[in-house]
Structure 1
């Protein structure tokens, strides 16, 4: 497992951590490539609890002295074919702008990989933004065939 900076811990959060999830939403723009982006906004307390209660949601926080310095959010996708029972889709990940390049991202990926090993999940996918692709490659991700396409309904 990568060495985290002194005082930084990574933990998976659950339904009892709805307040922590919503606290992250108040500053989530500082975890983006461009901290000038708009914040996403918090869920209602019940919405945050429901989100974290969903068995397909995996969410880790990296924390230092009670401050969130990183997060990683995945979905468990069950498979319809033989082989491993599921795979992960890494939906979003961020490290606070003041805490980058200290091993926090790698530490969160390592926590996700430990969960995968414990739960018999052998594969994780990430629809990486162009600016993040180098980080994921350094963590062992490789390009797959095909493209990720998006369609937004209005």
Structure 2
């Protein structure tokens, strides 16, 4: 098991010029899922990756060790229509490479997200977590809400 210190871990917020990093992740993102044997989701075309990362409502962080991607966190900024904080975050997806789990990478990604939130006046983050991930999020201070997440696929 390889070890690292927090000083070795580099977490960066991607922008439109980081399209190639997002493309590389799409080819191996199955290794960041609960079951790495599933097929990767597939890479975006470069223009699509630039457009995604250029969307002002998208926040996408990569965690890297020695140039290798070991984790990622994807959030969407959701503006609020009511009084109070101007926006909240929806944590869309998060993953740690199967070879690097249980070493604090996920917690480090959440800490960077929370630092961004504090710096931008965002006070709340929601996560529609998979059942296998709820324990992790609860250990990181998330609490279950009274609602349910429902999905409807068209087509």
TM-score bracket for this pair, using the shorter chain length: over 0.9
1:149 is aligned to 2:150: yes
Between stretches 6-15 and 120-129, larger displacement belongs to: 6-15
Structure 1 stretches lacking a partner, 5+ long: none
C-alpha root-mean-square deviation of aligned residues, in Å?
1.1
Tell me the CA shift for residue 4 of structure 1: 5.0
What is the alpha-carbon distance in structure 2 between the residues aligned to residue 46 and residue 89 of structure 1?
24
Greater RCO, CA 8 A, separation 6+ = 1
Q: Tell me which stretches of 4 or more aligned residues in structure 1 moved more than 6 Å.
A: none
Gap runs ≥5 in structure 2:
none
- In structure 2, how many angstroms separate the alpha carbons of the residues matched to 1:4 and 1:94? 19
How far off its partner does 1:9 sit? 1.2
Q: What are the residue-to-residue correspondences of 1:5-154 with 2, within 5 Å?
A: 5=6, 7-154=8-155
TM-score by length of 1: 0.96
Q: Note the C-alpha offset of 1:8.
A: 1.5
State whether residues 4 and 102 of structure 1, in contact with CA within 8 Å, keep that contact through their aligned partners in structure 2.
no
- The normalised TM-score by structure 2 is 0.95
Q: Is the 8 A contact 1:5 1:102 kept in 2?
A: no
Say whether the 8 Å CA contact 1:4–1:107 is kept in structure 2. Answer: no
Cα distance in structure 2, aligned partners of 1:7 and 1:121: 28
Count matched residues.
152
Q: Deviations over 1:71-129 (max 9, x none)?
A: 00000000000000000000000000000000000000000000000000000000000
Once the two structures are TM-superposed, the CA of residue 11 in structure 1 deviates from its matched residue by 1.0
**Structure 1 residues 29-38 or 6-15, which shifts more?**
6-15
